[in-house]
Amino acid sequence: MTRRPPNPFQTPGESAPDKEREGSEERSTEAPTPAGPEDLPPAEPRREPHAPPPPPFRDATDAEPGREEDSGAAGGQGPAWPAGQGAPQRAEQPDLEAPHRPDRPGRLQRGTIPIFDTLREAASLINHNRRTVLMPLVVVTIPVAVIAALLPALMFVTVWRHEPVVTTGTLTTDATTMMIFFLVLITAVEALFTQVARAATIVAVAGVARGSPPSLTEALDPAFNRIGGILVLIAVIVMIVGVGLLTLIGLIVMPYLLLRLAIAFDAYMIEDGSPWSALGRSWSLMQGNMLRLLGLLGLAAICVLPFFVILSLLAGMGEGARSFQILWMAFWGVLQAIVILPIVAFFTACTTLYYLKARAIEDEARVA
């Protein structure tokens, strides 16, 4: 290559551009080095106008059946990601199916409450917590039963000493209006206090089932403080039974109504609401569960059937002289209360546990 002679008009500081031009001319004469694939920028996929964006990255595990992933790596393995970093997560696709709508709160599916398990739990609960469960019934029903048995006996010895000895279950045409009124009143008062004792037992059973057994006072206080609401619930039940016994349609509808309202007392004592809200609560919880509760109460009745057999056999032993009839009537009233006491406790434990399970299932359905 011929070197040009120096320019006499060029100053010494202007020689650098010529050298740079000479260097560039020398570099231009060299053969260009071909660019490799790694030197090329990644090509973007060709997209048609108005075409949807490419799908998000899919991992090798998301490959469609029968289609191989073009990962560009040897051995059919997915692309190697930097150490400590996993593959990008696939974007969640919107669910085009109809959203799941849970059942309306209060509507339970049949078969959700096991009958035999509830029976076993009720028996076990009473067996392991006899004092907590039975004491409310003992301290209320036994004294009331003694008073209810002594008052008629006293009346037959003094005021009705010339009248035949009758009881509420054996009223005859010989009984006077005053006698009938007195005996029915005594029976009603005894039934009311029995229901109050049962309400206290509901509180005790619910506390034991929740793991916090209440004391005797803690169980009795809510029952006596809410005796007005208990009277309202008793009046509703009595009205349903009274109307049901008068007509043929009432006989058909009455069992249905009684089953729908069977756990109203439990709802009233546990949820601390009004009597009317307890009736509505029982109505909603029993929807779809009436037959299960009927089966539960039927099996419970079979379990306590021997107690009723004993009572029926003892009931016919009061025949004899008038003085013996009076004594037997008083003794029979107290004995009957003692025998029925564990029966009431068992039925109460069954219905209370049934109510707690039904409410738990409803709460789960509401949260889902």
List pLDDT tens digits, range 254-296: 999 999 999 999 999 999 889 999 999 999 999 888 889 999 9
Model confidence at 47, in pLDDT bands (50, 70, 90)?
A: low
Any idea what DSSP says for residue 47?
-
Closest CA to 338 of 161, 184, 142: 142
Closest CA to 345 of 190, 141, 148: 141
Tokens of 276: 């009317």
Any idea what DSSP says for residue 163?
S
CB 142 within 8 A of CB 312: no
Please give the angle made by the CA atoms of 92, 97 and 102, to the nearest 5 degrees: 105
Lowest mean pLDDT of 67-81, 273-287, 336-350, name the range.
67-81
pLDDT digits (tens, 9 = 90+) for 133-175: 999 999 999 999 999 999 999 998 998 888 888 776 667 666 7
Model confidence at 238, in pLDDT bands (50, 70, 90)?
A: very high
pTM of the model: 0.68
Distance separating alpha carbons of residues 182 and 212, to the nearest angstrom: 42
Between 317 and 25, the more confident residue is 317
CA count, 13 A, side-chain hemisphere, 252: 3
Write the CA distances from 225 to 154, 195, 198, 242, integer angstroms: 32, 13, 14, 28
Between 300 and 76, the more confident residue is 300
Q: What share of the chain is helix, strand, coil (3-state, %, to 5)?
A: 65, 0, 35
- The full set of domain ranges for the chain reads 115-367
Residue found under tokens 């008068």: 246
What is the rounded average pLDDT for all residues in the chain? 77
CB 321 within 8 A of CB 368: no
Tokens of 121: 């739990």
pLDDT at 3: 54
Tokens of 26: 């020398």
Write the CA distances from 269 to 52, 233, 273, 366, integer angstroms: 62, 11, 8, 22
CB 139 within 8 A of CB 220: yes
pLDDT digits (tens, 9 = 90+) for 18-33: 544 545 444 444 545 5
Distance separating alpha carbons of residues 196 and 137, to the nearest angstrom: 9
Longest C-alpha distance within the chain, in Å? 165
Distance separating alpha carbons of residues 59 and 42, to the nearest angstrom: 20
pLDDT at 308: 82
Residue found under tokens 């399970």: 357
Model confidence at 250, in pLDDT bands (50, 70, 90)?
A: confident
Torsion sign, CA atoms 105, 106, 111, 114: positive
Write the CA distances from 283 to 105, 163, 243, integer angstroms: 12, 47, 19
Distance separating alpha carbons of residues 202 and 77, to the nearest angstrom: 66
Find how far residue 151's CA is from the centre of its chain. 45
Model confidence at 364, in pLDDT bands (50, 70, 90)?
A: confident
DSSP one-letter string for 1-44: -PPPPPPTT--GGGHHHHHHHHHHHHHHHSPPPPPPGGGSPPPP
Distance separating alpha carbons of residues 207 and 201, to the nearest angstrom: 10
Residue found under tokens 């974007």: 91
DSSP one-letter string for 262-280: TTHHHHHHHH---HHHHHH
